[in-house]
């Protein structure tokens, strides 16, 4: 039986990665037409699955310490890198892609386990969204799989695999990525102090000033605006899969504070990668 990489990852993150890969593989193995479109996407089911298989392989290589340049972190460069990678990879069949997604998720965790067993110093890993440690890279992998797993579930008319526990395990990556995916035009000249939390989870701070975004592990003193979001909705908004205004309208996002109207500005401050 495989061992979790508990020496390097937060509790539950390794099993969440394995479980999400297995859930996505189960979706794909039930697919009869991988040429069908993915809703709100330019990709077919087969292309989305191929991208996931390639991305898991990329992450496994990064975890093993191999350099894999992949865009410069901007949405445009990542989209171009994705298109180039898909054009060079012909597989679109459900079963082989399902197998590869699981195998590469396992390879990722195995690489982290080897690093932990060797007792080497914590490396700085160069990723498509900047330097990260092992735990944040693992959170990145989980977040990426959940986003595309959600897309595949919609395309196939099946339940998605996102839940509160998995969303909380995505938070380290989402907090690390926020400064890198901030929209420079949207934050220019804007100053605000936000307190963010996922319902049932920890709160953190997002401070915007001088054209920069700072994410703090603790919420700021006297925030201008507090945002409390239902967990699945939080992740879907962060990944550009959910209309934030609709979520606010139906009560999945609550806002209060000295300047509650700043809630309406927050989603537009970032561009989902």
**Spatial CA neighbour of 232 closest among 173, 152, 160:** 160
On whether both 94 and 190 belong to a single domain, the answer is no
pLDDT band, very low/low/confident/very high, at 103 (cuts 50, 70, 90): very high
On whether both 195 and 160 belong to a single domain, the answer is no
**What is the structure's pLDDT at 70?**
87
On whether both 125 and 226 belong to a single domain, the answer is no
- Is residue 8 in a domain? no
Helix (H, G, I), strand (E, B) or coil at 131: strand
Considering only residues 258 and 272, tell me which one the structure prediction assigns the higher pLDDT.
258
Supply the mean pLDDT for the chain. 93
Q: Is the pLDDT of residue 6 over 60?
A: no
User: How many residues are there in the chain?
Assistant: 273
On whether both 110 and 233 belong to a single domain, the answer is no
CA distances from 80 to 22, 172, 273 (A): 28, 26, 12
Tokens in use for 157?
A: 């008319």
Considering only residues 130 and 138, tell me which one the structure prediction assigns the higher pLDDT.
138
Radius of gyration of the chain (CA): 19
**What is the structure's pLDDT at 120?**
64
Least confident of 9-23, 118-132, 155-169, 246-260: 118-132
Domain of residue 133, residue span: 13-174
Q: Residue 166's domain is classified under what CATH number? A: 1.20.120.450
**Spatial CA neighbour of 143 closest among 228, 233, 239:** 239
Total-model pTM: 0.94
């Amino acid at each position: 039986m495989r061992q979790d990489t508990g020496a390097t990852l937060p509790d539950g993150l390794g099993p969440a990665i394995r479980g999400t890969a297995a859930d996505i593989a189960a979706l794909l193995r039930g697919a009869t037409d991988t040429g069908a479109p993915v809703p709100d996407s330019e990709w077919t089911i087969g292309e989305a699955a191929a991208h996931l298989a390639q991305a898991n392989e990329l992450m496994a290589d990064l975890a093993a310490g191999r350099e894999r340049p992949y865009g410069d972190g901007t949405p445009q460069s990542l989209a171009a890198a994705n298109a180039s990678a898909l054009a060079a990879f012909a597989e679109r069949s459900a079963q082989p892609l399902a197998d590869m997604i699981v195998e590469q998720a396992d390879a990722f965790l195995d690489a982290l386990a080897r690093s932990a067993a060797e007792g080497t110093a914590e490396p700085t890993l160069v990723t498509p969204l900047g330097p990260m440690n092992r735990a944040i890279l693992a959170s990145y992998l989980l977040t990426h799989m959940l986003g595309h797993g959600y897309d595949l579930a919609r395309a196939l008319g099946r339940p998605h695999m996102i839940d509160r526990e998995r969303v909380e395990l995505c938070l380290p990556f989402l907090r690390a990525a926020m400064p890198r995916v901030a929209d420079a035009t949207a934050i220019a000249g804007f100053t605000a102090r936000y307190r963010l939390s996922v319902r049932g989870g920890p709160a953190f701070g997002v401070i915007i000033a001088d054209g920069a975004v700072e994410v703090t592990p603790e919420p700021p003193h006297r925030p201008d605006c507090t945002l409390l979001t239902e967990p699945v909705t939080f992740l879907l908004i962060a990944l550009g899969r959910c209309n934030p205004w609709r979520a606010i309208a139906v009560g999945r996002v609550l806002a209060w504070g000295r300047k509650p109207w700043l809630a309406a500005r927050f989603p537009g401050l970032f561009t989902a990668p």
